[in-house]
Homo-oligomer: A and B are copies of this chain.
Amino acid sequence: MKETRYIGKPARRVDGRAKVTGQAKFSDDVILPRTRYAKVLHSRYAHAKITKLDVSKAKELPGVAAVFTAKDIPNNDKYFRKGTMGDTWVLAEEYVRYIGDAVAFVVADDEETAEKALSLIEAEYEPLPPVVNLREAKKAELLARADREGNVSMPLEVSRGDVEADFAKADVILSDRYVFPSLSQLHLEPNSVTAVYEGGKLTVYCASQVWFHTREDIAAVVGLPEKDIILRPMTIGGAFGARNDQPLPIIASLLAVLTKSTVKMTNTRLEEFVAARPSLQMDIDITVAADKEGHLLSKKTWLLSSHGIHASDNDAVTAIACLRLDNNYKFNSVYVDGTGLYLNHTPTAAYRGFGNPQMHWAFESMLDELAEKLGMDPTEIRMLNYHEGGEVGIHGFIYNNCGIKECMRRAKEIVNWDEKKKHKVPGKGIGCASLIHCSGSRAGKPEFSGTSAWARLESSGAVTILAGECEMGQGIVNVCALIAGEELGVDPLSVKVIMGDTEMCPFSTGTNGSKLTSNLGNAVLFACRDLKKQLCDALREQCGYGPVEMRDGGIYYENNGEFVMSLEQAAYEACCKFSGRPFMGLGRFNPPSELGDRTGYGNLAPSYVFGVQMAEVTVHEDGSFTVDRMVSVHDIGRVIDIRNATGQVYGGVMQAFGAATTESLDLNKEGVYQANTILEYKAPTLLDMPHIDVGFVETHDQYGPYGAKAIAEPPIIAMAPAIGNAIYDAVGVRVHEAPITPQRLREAILEKKKRAAAGEEA
């Protein structure tokens, strides 16, 4: 590996100081003059006919600027993503279809008046039976939406190879069912938006992961051309996929335009639960076929996926759940039948891992079942079936490198796997699971799927990186600053990174799919190289200094290495030679990837990341258990920012731990979420966290900057099945539906005992 000054070294975060001192401005910190406040009247029924909706008293309240119901909204039924979605509404008209469905908007001079006006709206409903269960939705005896026959939002059926032939020649066939819950992404910052409509132009201060998509969505609903809309990114308090498709920026923008004013809206925590975009619950049946040596031959999967009341990016999540994991093992053939279903709850959407955690929960658990049946060690069956660099996954992934076997070896070392397996301690268990994900994953655009960046040097010597992507807390600003610092020879902390401002920054397809380190990292790298070349050329030619190079924050003669001048001085002289214009290095990266075909076949990303996760547990007779240690080892190519990468692993593992043990958004029969507060939702806190060991296997990726690959999503993907497998290892019992609560585990232990007793009796 090339010697580096900043890359891979422990670095301070360029946005760290502002965040820890409270100076960072989040969306709710936006305070503008003459702001009006808007509130939403949400449905309290999961499915009902609206029998009365009288807003006259609310309208008469002093301080109320406007009250809107469905009939007041132009294009009420043309909501969201122009041309791709559009199967929903701004305000419910005849029916409400989920708890949280918007029935009316109030715009008032202050929040208190808006709240009061909400209470003055007279709404009456005739309840209808809601569809809240995947298996029932599939039966389609009741419809979640009268306009959607069969409740099917997205069907996907894919077959590769000769599945029946492979099953026919299998030595072992195993079937099981796994359920993974819907989860809240639980970004701690609730959504807040301030939309300013003045002189025919709209400026929106908000959070988003997909600035230019959000602009497109707003344009479609408010009826302005995109060029008259500016999004000004605020500091974002987490996103995790939830901010791919948030309604609030669109609603606030619409109300600003309709009332020709500045409108601010901030979600309550309750709204963040009921009117949010949580992850997809999946109910998965798998039958797997292997030969007696443990080679995976084939697999059949039937997957039901909760899309909630309308399409979002839940289609893509379901598709990835159906296909991605298969690429991690050398199957001969696979078959999958996936169905995204409409249900009477809030629409679901992306969550870190994008469908991958759900399928990994199912299949990585089953792999342990299979290993047991074959008398193999769980690590052994995986090592046997992993791909190597240079191979191609069954759905078309091309691996230019693959460090998964090394990840497994490293993880085993860390937990001392073989020793522990040899010397079993009652009630103690270890489990493993492995994972695959994309690095630089392809956006669903045929036009392009890369990104671009500018590195700007202005006359003062200030270096700025401009990109249309999103810093949502994941630390991409640091990656950009480190790359710029490395290439330009300046302190990364002095580099300003401006991201996502739709007026200042390049267009981007948005920040998801673990694609920034690879795609944006390259764009920044190329931009800095271009900038350096431009500046040195100008100094040599226009300014007459002869051959010079830029390093260590200064300019040096190429021939004798002598110092010529500071970067500030060089910037001033060179800018003046070009009549004041800053130097703008341009970098762009369009990764070698392709859109999948209609069956999802294709090399969706330039590179892929791999990892192995392990857990050690202690399980008690009553079903209570502790996770004693978690180990997460990842092949992410070259590590750019070691602290940040490690932080990403901690965060992802913590979220996976929550999903495995405590978190879920369960609905009751009436379609009511059983957890509507953080307290009830029971996400783990730092105090609940077991020890985590993080390991990185540094491969060199031929497409990544400095050989780097992604780390954003992987740590969340396979820890839940690793914990499940460890519990099985401890007590020989498996809970098929996450989270593995003590109740569920206790029931399974009792059930096992009952079956054992029955067996003894038999």
> Given that A226-B460, A461-B227 are contacting pairs, would A584 and B584 also be in contact in the complex, using a CB cutoff of 8 Å?
yes
How many angstroms from the CA of A573 to the CA of B448 in the assembled complex?
10
Residue of B nearest to A21 (CB): B199
Residue of B nearest to A449 (CB): B579
Q: Are the C-beta atoms of A523 and B579 separated by less than 8 Å?
A: yes
What 0/1 pattern do residues 580 to 594 of A give for CB contact below 8 A with B? 111010101110000
Q: Are the C-beta atoms of B459 and A568 separated by less than 8 Å?
A: no
A651 within 8 A of B: no
Q: Which B residues lie within 8 Å of A581 (CB)? A: 452, 454, 506-507, 586, 588
Q: Are the C-beta atoms of A33 and B23 separated by less than 8 Å?
A: no
Q: Are the C-beta atoms of B507 and A504 separated by less than 8 Å?
A: no
With most chain B CB atoms within 10 A of its CB, the pick from A454, A459, A575 is A459
| Size category of the binding interface on chain A | 35 or more
How many angstroms from the CA of A588 to the CA of B580 in the assembled complex?
8
A375 within 8 A of B: no
How many angstroms from the CA of A589 to the CA of B447 in the assembled complex?
36
Q: Which B residues lie within 8 Å of A227 (CB)? A: 458, 460-462, 494, 568
Residue of B nearest to A567 (CB): B227
Q: Which B residues lie within 8 Å of A506 (CB)? A: 458, 575, 579-582
Contact of A579 among B504, B584, B588 (CB under 8 A): B588
Q: Are the C-beta atoms of A507 and B461 separated by less than 8 Å?
A: no
How many angstroms from the CA of A589 to the CA of B579 in the assembled complex?
7
A756 within 8 A of B: no
Q: Which of A47-100 contact B (CB under 8 A)?
A: none
A215 within 8 A of B: yes
A391 within 8 A of B: no
A223 within 8 A of B: no
A17 within 8 A of B: yes
> Given that A227-B568, A568-B225 are contacting pairs, would A452 and B578 also be in contact in the complex, using a CB cutoff of 8 Å?
yes
For the complex formed by this chain, how many copies does it contain in all?
Answer: 2
A445 within 8 A of B: yes
A503 within 8 A of B: yes
A577 within 8 A of B: yes
How many angstroms from the CA of A459 to the CA of B504 in the assembled complex?
12
What 0/1 pattern do residues 495 to 524 of A give for CB contact below 8 A with B? 000000011101111000000000000010
A31 within 8 A of B: yes
Q: Are the C-beta atoms of A507 and B215 separated by less than 8 Å?
A: no
A468 within 8 A of B: yes
What 0/1 pattern do residues 693 to 718 of A give for CB contact below 8 A with B? 00000000000000000000000000
Residue of B nearest to A581 (CB): B452
How many angstroms from the CA of A287 to the CA of B346 in the assembled complex?
90
A384 within 8 A of B: no
What 0/1 pattern do residues 587 to 611 of A give for CB contact below 8 A with B? 0111000000000000000000000
> Given that A18-B198, A199-B18 are contacting pairs, would A580 and B226 also be in contact in the complex, using a CB cutoff of 8 Å?
no
How many angstroms from the CA of A199 to the CA of B452 in the assembled complex?
28
With most chain B CB atoms within 10 A of its CB, the pick from A23, A468, A507 is A507
Q: Which B residues lie within 8 Å of A578 (CB)? A: 452, 588
Q: Are the C-beta atoms of B460 and A225 separated by less than 8 Å?
A: yes
Residue of B nearest to A196 (CB): B23
In the complex, how many angstroms separate the beta carbon of A318 from the nearest chain B beta carbon?
A: 27
Q: Are the C-beta atoms of A579 and B573 separated by less than 8 Å?
A: no
Q: Which B residues lie within 8 Å of A215 (CB)? A: 460
A212 within 8 A of B: yes
Contact of A459 among B212, B225, B459, B590 (CB under 8 A): B212
How many angstroms from the CA of A207 to the CA of B273 in the assembled complex?
45
Q: Are the C-beta atoms of B18 and A452 separated by less than 8 Å?
A: no
Residue of B nearest to A508 (CB): B580
Q: Which B residues lie within 8 Å of A199 (CB)? A: 17-18, 21, 23
A185 within 8 A of B: no
Contact of A507 among B450, B452, B580 (CB under 8 A): B580
Q: Are the C-beta atoms of B507 and A448 separated by less than 8 Å?
A: no
How many angstroms from the CA of A622 to the CA of B506 in the assembled complex?
70
Q: Which B residues lie within 8 Å of A448 (CB)? A: 576-577, 579-580
A464 within 8 A of B: yes
Q: Can you list 27 contacts pairing A with B, beta carbon distance less than 8 Å?
A: A29-B33, A31-B31, A31-B32, A212-B459, A215-B460, A225-B460, A226-B568, A227-B462, A227-B494, A227-B568, A228-B462, A447-B573, A450-B579, A451-B579, A451-B580, A452-B580, A458-B502, A458-B507, A468-B580, A506-B575, A506-B580, A506-B581, A507-B582, A509-B580, A578-B588, A579-B589, A580-B588
15 further contact pairs, Cβ within 8 A, besides A229-B460, A447-B572, A458-B502: A23-B198, A31-B31, A215-B460, A225-B568, A226-B459, A452-B578, A452-B580, A506-B575, A506-B581, A507-B576, A507-B580, A507-B581, A578-B588, A579-B589, A580-B588
Shortest 3 CB-CB contacts between residues of A and residues of B: A227-B462, A579-B588, A226-B460
